[in-house]
A and B are shown apart, each in its own frame.
Chain A
């Protein structure tokens, strides 16, 4: 065999992540039409929700004067949450067939299995965000490209954490698949609403405001709003970054642990 001389060769974690990411991304590359709907979704939200917010705000100067500037970062966070929280659903299918086990039997690092998958869910996000932002510009959205890019980095870190948790959830629910969806759905919407992403929480009851302070997503949304508004030197950006790093760290620890137990 010509390659027999190659022998076992170590791969770095980054190479592993790249390989897992590419395998997942191939599903889009080989079937690009699947992407079209996910690209339309944020536009629908923006188009149907934005005018309502403008109507509510009226001339009151709520949402800092521009409802679009306020709402658009929220939409970007929302599509991140939708995408990455479903990381585990593709995995579920691969657990049912033997593909997950086959990949577990390769030397791929355990963390790369989930980071690669989460990054795949984040890949269309860059395109989605670009489209949403460009469409919004003619309607009065002021674009700060570097700030938006910084915001996407924070979202990326956060998304890896959410993806890893979703991955762990799929493994935990591998014997009863509906549990994955039950948990994912019943966590997703409260987290989204309690982050003040769709509607401001300032007018809500106090318990909601307390709950939102305990929600890491709140800090992400606030950081994104600050960045999209063209400010970097605000403390909310730092809190957002910390919340993202904390989520990623927790996600990876939980995820790697569940992969180790996955074959039992």
Chain B
């Protein structure tokens, strides 16, 4: 569906050249659900705007839905749906009028556009709002209308730029319900940008992490988390048990920490932290949820009392932190 080669975009700001996107190589197959994740200003939206032909690339090439964005921009636009960051419906226009016209813009006949409009009004819970002016809708309703506008011509590839920014959790969940249902029903390929970690984590099957205009990681959220950050488990013991607990931890976890083939298992890196009820020892291990009961048994056998224990799956923020040394949350507004 998408194939890009060293896609680049520079902007001139005064005397300076800002390299917003510095060589993106990306392939997206039919039916994928991909999220571009990165802090504000990372180049996500710029990349999206090049893929939708709204912005010509400075260099490199991109083929989207079988058409080249530079040589056949109109053809690209014909084949894709695009839902931008801001409300797409005209403020003084009636909801139904905007949808009907949107279909006409894509070359649908009056009847086709009318059928599609009625269906989308129904699917996106807008049926009662057809005669209302778009400017009078609530935030959630406006966003659903945007989705409808992007889908009138039934594109096989849909781009969404920050689809849920500024929405409350309930409306976000509702929006995603609609997006995922449309995808399940029509097999639409979806590419979206987001700076919400939990959104990328929960919704996308593939996360493309973008920072400073480059792709720095590209995989499923699960694999990114286990490979780039890994599970962690923490046990809290009394301060006087700390040295003994360290020994048990090192010995008990050696079998699950696999090093290079043939080489001895690496020493686990144990972080220590003083907490109100003792000393918390944290260690990174694969499949922490399974390792935890085993470790607890070993500690009990050694006569060490554990006052608290937890295993934690990493978040995409841990991944970003591992990759860049910065937290994504710091950049959040």
Q: Contact between A105 and B86 (Cβ–Cβ < 8 Å)? A: no
The residues in B between 265 and 310 inclusive whose CB is less than 8 angstroms from any CB of A are: none
A93 near B91 (CB under 8 angstroms)?
Answer: yes
Task: Determine whether A257 belongs to the interface, using a CB cutoff of 8 Å to chain B.
Answer: no
With A3-B116, A97-B90, A264-B55 as given contacts, are A105 and B101 in contact (CB-CB < 8 Å)? Answer: no
Kindly state the separation between the CA atoms of A10 and B153 in the bound complex, as whole angstroms. Answer: 13
By beta carbon, the residue of chain A nearest B120 is A1
A98 and B52 alpha carbons, distance in the complex (Å): 15
CA distance A1 to B118 in the complex (A): 12
Tell me whether chain A's interface is mostly helix, strand or loop, or mixed: helix
Q: Which of B85, B105, B186 contacts A4 (CB 8 A)?
A: B186
Which residues of A sit under 8 angstroms from B74, Cβ to Cβ?
107, 109
State A97–B135 Cα separation when bound (angstroms): 10
Residues of chain B at the chain A interface (Cβ within 8 Å): 11, 49, 52, 54-56, 74-75, 77-79, 82, 84-94, 97, 101-102, 104-108, 112, 115-116, 119, 146, 149, 153-154, 185-186
Contact A10 B108 (CB under 8 A): no
Given the known A-B contacts A106-B105, A108-B105, are A8 and B112 also in contact in the complex, defined by CB atoms under 8 Å? no
Is B112 a contact of A3 with CB atoms below 8 Å?
Answer: yes
Q: A30 to chain B: closest CB distance in Å?
A: 7
Interface residues of A in 12-32 (CB under 8 A from B): 15-16, 19, 22-23, 26-27, 30-31
Option from A4, A99, A103, A263 in Cβ contact (under 8 Å) with B91: A99
Q: How far is the CA of A23 from the CA of B112 in the complex (A)?
A: 18
Give the 8 A-B CB pairs with smallest separation, nearest first.
A98-B86, A102-B88, A9-B107, A105-B82, A8-B78, A106-B105, A107-B78, A11-B107
Q: With A30-B97, A105-B52, A106-B105 in contact, is A99–B89 under 8 Å at CB?
A: yes
- Chain A residues near B75 (CB-CB < 8 A): 8, 107
State how many angstroms separate the Cβ of B62 from the closest Cβ of chain A: 15
Complex formed: what's the CA distance from A10 to B92 in Å? 28
Residue A2 interfacial (CB < 8 Å): yes
Give the CA-CA distance A101 to B78 in the complex, in Å.
Answer: 15
Is the CB–CB distance between A2 and B49 below 8 Å? Answer: no
Complex CA gap A98/B142 in Å reads: 11
